[in-house]
Amino acid sequence: MTREEWNLGVFDGVPVQKLSYEKLDAATGKTVTLSCNDWLYYREELQLRELAFGCCVNLIARAIANCEFKTFEGRAEAKNDYYYMLNVEPNLNENSTAFWQNAIFRLYAYNEVLIVPVQKNRRLMLVTADSWTPPENYPTREKIYEGVQLGDEPNTRRLKESEVLHLTLNNRNVKNVVDAIYNSYNKLIQTAMKNNAWNNGQHMKVHVGQVASGQNNFEQRFAEMLESQYKPFLHSDSGILPEFDGFDFQPFGGSTSAKDTRDIRALVDDIFTFTARGFGIPPVLLLGNVAGMSDAISLWLTTAIDPLAAQIGEECNRKLFGLDGWKQGFRVLVDTSTIQHFDMFANAANVEKIVGSAVWSINDILTKCGQEPLPYDWADKHWMTKNIATIEEVARAATSQQKEGQNA
């Protein structure tokens, strides 16, 4: 049912006052019956709540999906099968961007996510589990996950802790915290909306003369006149209002000029601000304020993205490679430096210093800029500007020049 259908008072031929809606209360597990008005109120409340939650989760999910999962064999970086699985195609039905966005959304929506490595035709794939039975927690025993459901597979699986990638947040569900914060502001927002509707609405007061008020069945006729004549006129864009002797209608209350929704937007911005802080996101990233954006992004990467990326990398290392593989140098590193856009021309001076100090090769710079590396050996070499040397080398050169001057 839409708000327009509610205003008309009838839905599918049934008066809205007689309609009801049943919903499951997640806290008690019982079915609660709501009136139609309560249902509309609940739906509008839920939309705002989900909007704030979805904006925060999508911001983090897109950031993780934009990271590069570097794989190493020994001490050397290698683009092997693991690299392809983590960065290009985790499974047959998803690319890496869609996979990681889905996984991170589940992580924040349910406080945990279970990723199952599956061997198929000699190829390792990653699949996000839809549901499972929470395992018993014994610190000295390996957890067992019962009833692991992967998509629409007819049979569930029984998997050990070492056979899955299990990502968790802190011990409290972020979504529950956000809902609790919203409940505190919900009444304030509803009050502000009612005040705005009153100020922008049309209100009339009527003075009834003695002759009109003394007529037979006055109250019934007066109510019918308001319902059939004046109420449709106030709700219509244009119309004709008949005048009757003994009835003097005058504007009352409200405002002669339309009021903006600045107070409502301020309360909604508060919801986004508190939600962002719950996720460790600087509020300016959601509200779109330009001032301090660079510092906010750096803070967000440090406090929210880097810890999550570290958890994903650690879980991949201990489950995909194990202790023996880790000792041999097999590991995954989630590179968060690819999240921010890098403008080579704006940072030309810094690029020159990085290359000239032998920190990165030319191909390293091109890769960071999202460009294809050059197919030449010299592009992979590390270069150093000639006038950069150690103190000892500078001292020896100065001594040599001094001796040459004395001999001359």
pLDDT tens digit string along 287-332?
877 777 888 888 889 988 999 999 999 999 999 999 999 999 999 9
Establish if 390 belongs to a structural domain.
yes
- Asked if residue 208 lies in contact with residue 222, where contact means CB atoms within 8 angstroms, the answer is yes
Q: Mark 247-280 as b/e (b = at least 16 C-beta within 10 Å).
A: beeeeeeeeeeeeeeebbeebbebbbbbbbebbb
| pLDDT of residue 12 exceeding 60 | no
The pLDDT score that the predictor gives to residue 3 is: 46
Angle at 337 between CA 331 and CA 341, to 5 degrees: 145
The pLDDT score that the predictor gives to residue 368 is: 75
Establish if 49 belongs to a structural domain.
no
Establish if 144 belongs to a structural domain.
no
Mean pLDDT of 113-119: 94
Rounded to an integer, what distance in angstroms lies between the CA atom of residue 320 and that of residue 118?
11
Which residue do the tokens 């109250």 mark? Answer: 219
Q: What does residue 73 show for φ and ψ, rounded to 5 degrees?
A: -120, 110
The pLDDT score that the predictor gives to residue 126 is: 95
Establish if 143 belongs to a structural domain.
no
The pLDDT score that the predictor gives to residue 2 is: 47
- Asked if residue 136 lies in contact with residue 123, where contact means CB atoms within 8 angstroms, the answer is no
Confidence of residue 14 (pLDDT cuts 50, 70, 90): very low
Confidence of residue 103 (pLDDT cuts 50, 70, 90): very high
The pLDDT score that the predictor gives to residue 352 is: 77
Confidence of residue 34 (pLDDT cuts 50, 70, 90): low
Between 209 and 228, the more confident residue is: 228
Angle at 129 between CA 111 and CA 97, to 5 degrees: 80
250-265: pLDDT as tens digits:
666 555 554 555 666 7
Confidence of residue 172 (pLDDT cuts 50, 70, 90): low
Amino acid at 12: D
338-388: pLDDT as tens digits:
887 766 677 777 777 787 777 888 888 887 777 788 888 888 888 777 766
Count of helices and strands (H, E) across the chain: 16, 15
Mean pLDDT of 38-57: 70
The total number of structural domains that make up the chain? 1
Establish if 373 belongs to a structural domain.
yes
- Asked if residue 114 lies in contact with residue 148, where contact means CB atoms within 8 angstroms, the answer is yes
191-207: pLDDT as tens digits:
666 666 666 666 666 66
Q: Is 234 helix (H, G, I), strand (E, B) or coil?
A: helix
Rounded to an integer, what distance in angstroms lies between the CA atom of residue 323 and that of residue 111?
27
Listed as own residue / partner, the contacts of 207-212 with beta carbons closer than 8 Å and 24 or more positions apart are: 207/247, 207/248, 207/250, 208/246, 208/247, 209/245, 209/246, 209/247, 209/248, 211/245, 211/246, 212/244, 212/245, 212/246, 212/247
| pLDDT of residue 54 exceeding 60 | yes
Confidence of residue 63 (pLDDT cuts 50, 70, 90): very high
- Number of other residues whose CB lies within 10 A of the CB of residue 189: 19
Which residue do the tokens 């009801």 mark? Answer: 20
Q: Which domain holds residue 359?
A: 344-408
**Strand ranges for 12-138 from DSSP E:** 14-15, 20-24, 31-35, 68-73, 76-77, 112-120, 123-128, 131-133
Establish if 293 belongs to a structural domain.
no
Mean pLDDT of 219-246: 68
Q: Where is 393: in which H helix or E strand?
A: helix 391-407
Q: Mark 293-308 as b/e (b = at least 16 C-beta within 10 Å).
A: eeebbebbbeebbeeb
Q: At what angle do helices 36-65 and 306-316 cross, to 10 degrees?
A: 70
Which of 297, 265, 272, 224 shows the shortest CA–CA distance to 60? 297
Mean pLDDT of the chain: 77
Mean pLDDT of 169-178: 67
Mean pLDDT of 234-238: 64
What contacts 35, CB < 8 A, 6 or more positions away? 17, 19, 20, 21
In order of 129, 149, 222, 369, the CA distances from 153 in angstroms are: 11, 7, 67, 42
Establish if 377 belongs to a structural domain.
yes
- Asked if residue 230 lies in contact with residue 222, where contact means CB atoms within 8 angstroms, the answer is no
| pLDDT of residue 210 exceeding 70 | no
Establish if 45 belongs to a structural domain.
no
| pLDDT of residue 45 exceeding 70 | no
